[in-house]
Amino acid sequence: MEIDFVVTWVDMDDPTWKDEFSQYSGKIDNTVNELSEARFRDNGLLKYWFRGVEKFAPWVRKIHFVTSGQKPTWLNANHPKLNFVSHKDYIPEQYLPVFNSNLIEIYMHKIPNLSEQFVYFNDDFFITNHLSPKRFFEGGLPKDIAAFRTNTGLSQFEKMLKNNIRLINKHFDKKEVFKKDSWKWLDPSYGKRARLNHLLKYYNKFITLRTPHNAQPFLKSTFEDVWKHCEKELKEMSTHRFRSSKDYTPELFKTWQICSSNFIPYNTYQDTKMFPLMIKSKKAIKAVREQSYSLVCLNDNVHIRNYEQTHENLKKSFEIILPEKSNFEL
């Protein structure tokens, strides 16, 4: 079993990117959600992402590094495991340039030379402790948690998750799925996180699934299947150059994968943690330093107090666990 990693990155200080962003957004300084600086700025931690891969997941076959054509000056372009991927290499030309991460993600199966089994990372998802391939895949299938969650639909992201579920209910019969695979939905390893599964066992419709914000294993064939059945909706979404409440997200593919029974039950929360840096920066710094989790998400926000100091402290924590340059660095 060969497993690839896909990671997306953007350098918002790149002059070409800035010109295009300004041209299509109509602004340079933005605070609204879909145009927020926190969605695009580079926090200087990317090299620790590569160090974490080399030290803690050396078994990866290829790393597909996806950008709008940018390249960090320190990154070793000749590394045999590194595949530079520009948006134009796999996203249809009529939708470029794109500043919508959801759009960048729904076409991932088109990345050249991508393996059937792959793990998707945002550039704020970090490996901070040893992982085996079996953390993500077993018997060729992704490992995931099938557990429902509440969704108020108030935020832009929650509206997008509701869009996903409408498509899921259009193509899957919940009663049939539960009849066939109730053991996967009621796996004891989920613990209290699956309490809604028990309460809604006989409810006719799917609701939003839990979506741990961290590295996500996928089958390329899942993307192909979703596109086969939802091409009309996904093409309509492809015109959204910036994030929109009418978008679909990668969680659509995750949920489709689960409803198709193409997964192995696994409570991903046991070794994964998302830290919103606006409110949990100290806990994030400590978790990295002490390697409390195998995977952490360091979620950026424009309202982080002492932004520079927070990221300086994060760098110090990373230097403790990953002090040596990786072969991905020049």
Within a domain: residue 280? yes
Q: Is residue 101 part of a domain?
A: yes
Distance of alpha carbon 4 from the chain centroid:
14
Domain presence at residue 200? yes
The greatest distance separating any two alpha carbons of the chain, rounded to the nearest whole angstrom, comes to 57
Task: Say how many C-beta atoms besides its own lie within 10 A of residue 302's C-beta.
Answer: 13
The residue segments making up the domain with residue 241 are: 3-321
Is residue 78 assigned to a domain?
yes
Give the CATH number, domain containing residue 314: 3.90.550.10
- DSSP string covering 126-147, please? EE-S---GGGTEETTEEEE---
Q: Do the domain assignments include residue 330?
A: no
Spatial contact of 239 and 95, defined as CB atoms under 8 Å apart: yes
Question: Among residues 303, 298, 302, 299, which one has the least CA distance to residue 287?
Answer: 298
Residue 145 confidence (pLDDT): 97
The length of the chain in residues reads: 330
Which one-letter DSSP state was computed for residue 190? G
Mean pLDDT, the chain, rounded, equals 92
Please count the structural domains in the chain. 1
326 in any annotated domain: no
d(CA 166, CA 174): 12
Enclosing H/E stretch for 215 = none
Cut 0.85: pTM above it:
yes
The pLDDT value recorded for residue 27 is 61
Percent of the chain beyond pLDDT 90? 82
Q: Which of 144, 81, 90, 142 is nearest to 117 (CA)?
A: 142
- The verdict on whether omega for the bond into residue 97 sits within 30 degrees of 0, i.e. cis, is yes
Q: How far is CA 163 from CA 17, 148, 170, 191, 282, in A?
A: 30, 15, 11, 27, 35
Specify whether the CB–CB gap between 165 and 258 falls below 8 A.
no
Q: Residue 12 has what pLDDT?
A: 81
- 307 vs 113: which has the higher pLDDT: 113
User: pLDDT tens digits for 164-183?
Assistant: 999 999 999 999 999 999 99
DSSP 260-298: TT-SEE--GGGSEEEEEHHHHHHHHHHHHHHT--SEEEE
Band of pLDDT at residue 276, cut at 50, 70 and 90: confident
Task: Tell me: pLDDT of 14 over 90.
Answer: no
41 in a structural domain: yes
User: Residue 309 has what pLDDT?
Assistant: 85
Q: Are strands 295-299 and 117-121 parallel, antiparallel or unpaired?
A: unpaired
Q: What is the pLDDT of residues 113-161, one digit of tens each?
A: 999 999 999 999 999 999 999 999 999 999 999 999 999 999 999 999 9
- Cβ burial 229-266 (10 Å sphere, 16+ → b, else e): ebeebbeebbebbbbbbebbbbbbbbbbbbbbebbbbb
